[in-house]
Amino acid sequence: MSMMKILLTGKNGQVGFELQRALAPLGELLAVDQPECDMADAQAIRRLVRSFQPDIIVNPAAYTAVDKAEAETELAHAVNAVAPGVFGEEAAKLGAWVVQYSTDYVFDGIKAGAYTEDDATHPQSVYGRTKRDGEIALQQSGARHLIFRTSWVVGAHGKNFAKTILRLAEERDHLTVVADQYGAPTSAALLADVTAQVVHQKQREGEDGFPFGLYHLVAGGETNWCDYARFIVSEALAIGKPLKLLPDAIRPIPASEYPAVAKRPANSRLDTDKFRKTFNLELPDWTIGVRHVLQQILADGKW
């Protein structure tokens, strides 16, 4: 059996960085980022896929600046909506398959309970719309694929909410944080490890009856941004990091008091039943992944 060839995009992003580690043992891995392949350039993507001829394309690369996307619509569209379809078209020609990551932003966030894969999408922002269009482009490309929708991604590598809170906690003795948006912070390492598990399962079991399709993939449990910020600060203090800010000095505010250019979903809860039952994998509580990320961030001393 020849070694599986894996093409990974966005290797310097939060999820891509962790995927490099998780996928490396599974085959010959080519990991690229913007300098090696411009994700806004469909021809560059085609050239890359045709020269490497992968068995699997794992594409966490995305335009993720949610507020900036409202102005940079063309760039967001090229990277988030067009590129997944191009990867799909090229994969279909090679008989390869694609793993694509998507987001809670494809929903409007007004549902009472957790969103399932069958719920209608209704994105409220350019970012959400382009990510939804990317899902559709991949689904229509003819390639076998997995789409993992996730939310509130946090990793030791890259920019995220946890690092922002730690930075502010060193400078300020009080803070206001939105408390009426709900979701599950999901560590980049969990996404990477689970992806590697699923890829390995596909290697073992082969094509026949493999459950390709769309899945919701987030950590267990739920929280809101304010409680999440308090958790970050109390964990950092427990590890022995001296901070100006105490958890009680983080005050809750409604999203209406925090002006953002792009609309955020109030409810980002994603139901992971389908994923857990299909792949027989457990998704640990969000606090476990975040605690691990905070230990790494604080050990590195960079945020």
Widest CA span of the chain, in angstroms?
Answer: 60
Helix (H, G, I), strand (E, B) or coil at 252: strand
User: Cα(251)–Cα(146) distance, rounded to whole angstroms?
Assistant: 40
How many helices (H) and strands (E) the chain has is answered by 10, 12
Look at strands 144-150 and 213-216 and give their pairing.
parallel
Name the amino acid, one letter, at 194. V
Name the amino acid, one letter, at 296. Q
Catalytically annotated residues: 127
Map tokens 């699923």 to a residue: 198
Inter-axis angle of helices 83-94 and 42-52, to 10 degrees? 30
User: Cα(18)–Cα(186) distance, rounded to whole angstroms?
Assistant: 13
User: Cα(101)–Cα(59) distance, rounded to whole angstroms?
Assistant: 7
Beta-carbon contacts of 190 under 8 Å, excluding residues fewer than 6 positions away, are 219, 283, 284, 289
